[in-house]
Chains A and B, each alone.
Chain A
Amino acid sequence: MIIRYLALILICQLAGETVQVATDIPVPGPVIGMAILFTGLLIKRGLPQGLYETAGGLLRHLALLFVPAGVGVMLHVPRLADEWWPVFLAIVPGTLIAIAITALVMERLGRSTLRDEDKV
């Protein structure tokens, strides 16, 4: 975790939040920050090693960062008990249909660019 690149990431987020508040566009500030950093990398045409390490450090334990908000499930137990049927429908069949459709579209449209080593 290199402080210089952590500062860069925070600056991108702050810029993203500022753009979000100033323009009132319905995209979360950190997502705009991601787009800003991505654009910066495209212009610079190179990924600094320190940024690679710092981003890797943040993303390696991305799962951990979900935990505090996830514990909020204790506030939603009555709602989930009341609405278990629509929640189940959306999550189980909903997710599996999305997986099937996405894979079918990519497979059909990607036949011309499919290399042998990418075949199952």
Chain B
Amino acid sequence: MNPPDLEQIWVYLSQKPLTGLTLTLCAYVAGDWLYEKSGRHPLLNPVPIAIILIAGLLWATGVPYKDYFDGAQFVHFLLGPATVALAVPLYQQIETLTKSGPALLAGVLIGSGTAAGCAYGFAYIGGASTETLYSIAPKSVTAPIAMGISEQLGGLPSLTAVLVILTGITGAVFGPLVLNLTRIKDWRARGLAMGVAAHGLGTSRAFQVNAVAGAFAGLAMGLNGLATAILIPLIFALVF
């Protein structure tokens, strides 16, 4: 009996959806373990760790992204239902929403415009290509919504996902520093800013510091998602 041919087994396994799915969960578990081990250091976010592990393995073994995605799409699919589920935390904060009403809405709308405007404007000034411009415009919005907007505009949803994650890490790491420099002494305002500009990653950072800041960040993330999803495509349709 011949010894099993490892390469043949790998070729067989790499084309099974189960492999991509298992790889996704294992890489995330590994990333989450490192994150917890580091005392939840913002730079060791499990998402980029999982992405680097998987992309590195696929690159090293020459497996095309498409083969991996055949399995990973079962995880990817849940982004839609998760977006719908954002209605629940939004509903839970309805009292806070109405209490700080006008200031909160002004903050979200101006912040939403600033985030998308700066993203588009700075990328344009830096000489980005059209596809990159469309992909980067919704970068401050939570990934499931940002990817939808990007697709609608003609950007690349997978590129947007990467840019959204980079944005979230930037906000989570350097956001509190900026808020100290600008001497913001209102937890609601600090949370709102983190949620608007740095979506889920900014929100989880805000929750670690102060409960009110966390609640406002979560609320801001949802409202910014809704505002950007409605405003960006409308502005693009009118202007271009």
Contacts and interface: CB of A to CB of B under 8 A. Distances in A.
Contact of B76 (A16, A34, A65, A83): A65
A38 B87 contact: yes
B100 A113 contact: yes
A75 to B, nearest CB: 6
B37 interface: no
Interface residues of A, number: 76
Contact of B122 (A58, A93, A106, A110): A93
Nearest to B180: A120
Of B75, B89, B121, which is in contact with the most chain A CB atoms at under 10 Å from its CB? B75
Contacts of B103: 105-106, 109-110, 113
A109 B107 contact: yes
Contacts of A26: 152, 233-234, 236-237
A105 B236 CA distance: 25
Interface string A25-68: 01111110111011001100001000110111011001111111
B75 A102 contact: no
A72 B69 CA distance: 9
A95 B89 CA distance: 24
B45 to A, nearest CB: 8
A96 interface: yes
Contact of B158 (A41, A65, A73, A87): A73
Contacts of B99: 113
B13 interface: no
Contacts of A76: 156, 158-159, 162
A2 interface: no
Contact of B123 (A56, A70, A71, A90): A90
B163 A110 contact: no
A48 B230 CA distance: 28
B157 A69 contact: yes
A67 to B, nearest CB: 5
Nearest to A30: B83
B51 A99 contact: no
Nearest to B218: A59
Give the bracket for the number of chain B residues in contact with chain A.
35 or more
Contact of B84 (A33, A72, A73): A33
Contact of A107 (B58, B118, B189): B189
Contact of B110 (A42, A102, A120): A102
A10 B158 contact: no
A12 B81 CA distance: 9
Contact of B91 (A42, A80, A90, A117): A42
Nearest to B237: A26
Nearest to B194: A99
A81 interface: no
Contacts of B200: 62-63
Interface in B185-217: 185-190, 192-194, 196-198, 200, 202, 212
A105 B111 contact: yes
A95 to B, nearest CB: 5
9 contacts: A64-B24, A79-B131, A89-B126, A92-B170, A102-B111, A105-B111, A110-B188, A114-B188, A119-B186
Interface of A: 6, 9-10, 12-13, 16, 26-31, 33-35, 37-38, 41-42, 47, 51-52, 54-56, 58-59, 62-76, 79-80, 83, 85-107, 109-110, 113-114, 117-120
